[in-house]
Structures are given as structure tokens and as C-alpha cells.
């Protein structure tokens, strides 16, 4: 598989060991995941916000809060994976609660009040665009079933290709259950990253520029009941990311033209 070769090349070059690479890579995940959900912050603005605590001028405060909350959730997710914390309903709810900490709303339903900042399951039916999701009374059972399937798979030896596909499948299935009122996409992408970090794989990013293709891949996968559609989309995103990082690192290592540094005036 081409992705396995790219992962090996990425690891052989020790790109993740470059100073600050990991930090900037995590910020890139924050940037793209929140832009998919409506943030207008640029990647540089996200870097300055997370590294220096400076909110960008002229941008709504809730967009900055969305980014900083996502960063906290991402750090928690990676730490949990590195510590081999078991995947549970509680872990998913904690990730979602961190994502929605500053921007979550309170929903009043005939079945009671749901505070989206707590990671609680929805108590109403939801749609997103043309997509309809399972009835709320099926959410707990479906999410519990998904967690069990993922844990069963992770309890067996998996090849790198199987590990990647498991992370992509987890992403697709959780976002298709849509267990929360808000933050489903971000939580699902972080679940994908949790599995990748658990296996010490480079972390995938869905490029925000490809939002339309991403949503279409989700829709087509559901309509055709063919997980290979979403796997293929995510493999393309993953290949793009690794290839770009390898090219950037290789270029950095190459001596500049003329044999030395050139001042530009």
C-alpha cells in the first residue's frame, strides 16, 4: 500500500523530531477542523492565538474560543492515546465536552434539558444539510456498539493499513451516528486521531479546502453503504499531508543555491 511506504519514509526522515514540528502540526489540525465548522481564522492567526494568547482583530470571539477549545480537546485526545487510556463512552463525551466548553448551548426538550458543554447525548433528532441521522433514542445503543467494535478490533494485532482503515471507519461511523447536538464532526475527527496516536501513526488532517468533497464522501458512503468511498477519500487526504511534509522537510535539508545563505534586500 502506498500509504504504508509514505509513513515509513516520513518516520525514517524523523520529521516528527524536528523542533516545534509536532506543535505546529497540532495547530494545523485545530485550524482545518474548526474552519470546516465555520471558523474564519487563518492558520497564522490560529498559531498566534494558541502560542501567544492573542485573539485576531476583526474576528468574532466565538471563533477564537472554538479554536482554543479544540486545541485543549486535541491535547487531551493525544495524551489519552499515548497513555493507552481505553476507548469508552465517557472518553468520547469528555472530548466532546472540551470541544464545546466555551461555545456549547443549552437545549430544552420535552425529555429534559441538555447542556452541550457536558458531552451529553442529544435528546432530539437532528439533520445536517441533506443528511438525516438516527433517532435520538438509538444514539446510546449505537455509540456503545461502535465503541465495543473499535475496542474488539484494537484488541487484535492489526497491520498498518488495518490501523489506518480502523481510524477512518471510526471517524465515519461516529459522525454518522451524530450523538451530540454540536461538535460531532470535530469529535469524530479527534476519535480518528486518537486511534492514529494510539498506534503512533502520523495524525490525519481533513483539509478545510476540501470541505465539499469531504461532505460528499460522507453522503456517498451512507447512500451506497460502501465504506471504501470514505476510506479512499481519507487515504487521499492522508497521502497529500505526508507527501507535503516529506517534500517540505527534504527541501529544508537541501543546501541553498550558491552553497550558503543569501540575504535578501
In the chain the domains, ranked by start, together with CATH numbers, are: 2-248 (1.10.3290.10)
At 258 the pLDDT is 58
DSSP string, 183-227: -HHHHHHHHHHHHHHHTTPPPP---GGGHHHHHHHHHHHHHHT-H
Write b or e for each residue in 6-34: b if 16 or more Cβ atoms lie within 10 A of its Cβ, otherwise e. Answer: bbebbeeeebeeeeeeeeebbbbbbbbbb
Bridge partners of 109? 112
Q: Record the pTM.
A: 0.94
> Which letter does DSSP use for residue 120 in this model?
P
Task: In whole angstroms, give the CA distance from residue 87 to residue 155.
Answer: 11
> Which letter does DSSP use for residue 132 in this model?
E
CB 69 within 8 A of CB 59: no
Averaged over successive runs of 10 residues, the pLDDT of the chain (265 residues) comes to 89 80 90 97 96 94 97 98 96 98 93 93 86 92 98 97 98 97 97 98 97 97 97 97 91 66 67
Max CA separation in the chain (angstroms): 73
CA pseudo-torsion sign 210, 215, 221, 224: negative
At 262 the pLDDT is 64
Which residue matches cell numbers 453503504? Answer: 225
Q: What is the 3-state secondary structure (H, E, C) of 220-232?
A: HHHHHCCHHHHHH
CB 89 within 8 A of CB 147: yes
Residues contacting 11, CB < 8 A, separation 6+: none
Task: In whole angstroms, give the CA distance from residue 89 to residue 196.
Answer: 18
CB 204 within 8 A of CB 225: no
- What angle is formed at CA 215 by the lines to CA 132 and CA 50, rounded to 5 degrees? 110
Record the cell numbers describing residue 19, joined without a space.
523542533
CB 119 within 8 A of CB 215: no
**Quick one: which H or E segment has residue 29?**
helix 21-36
Task: In whole angstroms, give the CA distance from residue 174 to residue 178.
Answer: 6
H helical segments located in the chain: 2-12, 21-36, 43-52, 61-82, 89-99, 139-154, 160-177, 184-198, 211-224, 227-253
3-state secondary structure of 261: coil
- What angle is formed at CA 85 by the lines to CA 12 and CA 188, rounded to 5 degrees? 80
Task: In whole angstroms, give the CA distance from residue 262 to residue 208.
Answer: 35
Amino acid at each position: 500500500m502506498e500509504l504504508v511506504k509514505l509513513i515509513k519514509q516520513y518516520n525514517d526522515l524523523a520529521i516528527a523530531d524536528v523542533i516545534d514540528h509536532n506543535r505546529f502540526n497540532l495547530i494545523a489540525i485545530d485550524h482545518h477542523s474548526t474552519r470546516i465548522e465555520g471558523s474564519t481564522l487563518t492558520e497564522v492567526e490560529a498559531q498566534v492565538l494558541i502560542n501567544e494568547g492573542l485573539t485576531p482583530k476583526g474576528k468574532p470571539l466565538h471563533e477564537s474560543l472554538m479554536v482554543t477549545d479544540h486545541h485543549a480537546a486535541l491535547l487531551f485526545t493525544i495524551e489519552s492515546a499515548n497513555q493507552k487510556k481505553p476507548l469508552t463512552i465517557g472518553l468520547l463525551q469528555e472530548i466532546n465536552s472540551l470541544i464545546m466548553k466555551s461555545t456549547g448551548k443549552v437545549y430544552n426538550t420535552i425529555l429534559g434539558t441538555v447542556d452541550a458543554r457536558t458531552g451529553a447525548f442529544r435528546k432530539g433528532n437532528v439533520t445536517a444539510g441533506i443528511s438525516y441521522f438516527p433517532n435520538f433514542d438509538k444514539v446510546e445503543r449505537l455509540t456503545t456498539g461502535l465503541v465495543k467494535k473499535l475496542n474488539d478490533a484494537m484488541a487484535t494485532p492489526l497491520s498498518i493499513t488495518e490501523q489506518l482503515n480502523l481510524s477512518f471507519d471510526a471517524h465515519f461511523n461516529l459522525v454518522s451516528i451524530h450523538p451530540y447536538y454540536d461538535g460531532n464532526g470535530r469529535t469524530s475527527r479527534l476519535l480518528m486521531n486518537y486511534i492514529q496516536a494510539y498506534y503512533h501513526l502520523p495524525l490525519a488532517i481533513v483539509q478545510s479546502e476540501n470541505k465539499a468533497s469531504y461532505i460528499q464522501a460522507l453522503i456517498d458512503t451512507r447512500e451506497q453503504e460502501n465504506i471504501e468511498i470514505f476510506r479512499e477519500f481519507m487515504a487521499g487526504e492522508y497521502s497529500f499531508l505526508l507527501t507535503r511534509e516529506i517534500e517540505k522537510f527534504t527541501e529544508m535539508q537541501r543546501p541553498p543555491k550558491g552553497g550558503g545563505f543569501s540575504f535578501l534586500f
